[in-house]
């Protein structure tokens, strides 16, 4: 089957047999590590299996697979950057205050979820939320900084808090 042919049923088994080697090679060329590429290729097909009811017929299966794999690479990079920043920050702590390995994993998981939450917000909503939570600015101060009305800031903060609520109570 050519790479540009349609897989009418989007059969995951056929998709895997036909494109796994290509996808793994594509990933190796981008990240330079055979083992990591194999893991990402497998994760890509796991994602395909999870969402196969949504995919229907695939006109460009390689474009579909590479798009999923690219997103997984970005997620992996972000996860590593969060872990690096976290590990860097705990080097400043006294030895007796360094979290246990179990706590470290829980903290990293929470940071990753918060990062995804912030990334899912529109830029202005994210900025308003960060101004309020990290800088302690009032709605009026945020409105002035962003050049919007106080009501807009209040709506943006409500939106951000709804996302936080879902993260804490719905997705937990």
In tens, the pLDDT along 75-101 reads: 888 888 888 888 888 888 898 898 888
In a domain, 147, yes or no: yes
pLDDT bracket for residue 57 (50, 70, 90) = low
pLDDT bracket for residue 55 (50, 70, 90) = low
In a domain, 76, yes or no: yes
Q: pLDDT per residue over 111-154, tens digit each? A: 888 888 888 899 999 999 999 999 999 999 999 999 999 999 99
Q: Are residues 80 and 35 in the same domain?
A: yes
Cα-based angle 7, 56, 116 (whole degrees, multiple of 5): 115
**The token pair that represents 58 in the structure block:** 């695939």
Between CA 28 and CA 40 the distance in angstroms is: 10
- Structural domain of 56: 12-87
Q: Are residues 73 and 136 in the same domain?
A: no
| CB neighbour list of residue 87: distance below 8 Å, 6 or more residues apart | none
Q: Are residues 69 and 131 in the same domain?
A: no
In a domain, 3, yes or no: no
In a domain, 52, yes or no: yes
Average pLDDT, stretch 155-165?
93
Question: pTM of the full predicted structure?
Answer: 0.63
Between CA 144 and CA 161 the distance in angstroms is: 21
% of the chain beyond a pLDDT of 70:
90
In a domain, 61, yes or no: yes
């Amino acid at each position: 089957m050519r790479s540009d042919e349609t897989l009418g049923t989007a059969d995951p088994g056929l998709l895997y047999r036909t494109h796994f080697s290509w996808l793994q090679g594509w990933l190796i060329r981008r990240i330079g590590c055979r083992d990591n590429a194999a893991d990402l290729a497998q994760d890509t097909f796991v994602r395909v299996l999870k969402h196969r009811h949504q995919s229907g017929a695939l006109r460009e299966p390689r474009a579909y697979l590479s798009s999923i794999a690219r997103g997984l690479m970005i997620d992996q990079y972000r996860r590593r950057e969060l872990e690096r920043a976290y590990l860097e920050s705990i080097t400043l702590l006294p030895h007796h205050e360094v979290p246990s390995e179990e706590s470290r994993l829980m903290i990293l998981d929470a940071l990753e979820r918060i990062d995804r939450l912030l990334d899912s917000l529109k830029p202005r909503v994210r900025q308003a939320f960060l101004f309020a939570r990290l800088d302690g600015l009032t709605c009026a101060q945020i409105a002035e900084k962003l050049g919007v009305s106080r009501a807009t800031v209040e709506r943006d903060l409500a939106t951000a808090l709804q996302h936080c609520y879902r993260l804490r109570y719905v997705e937990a």
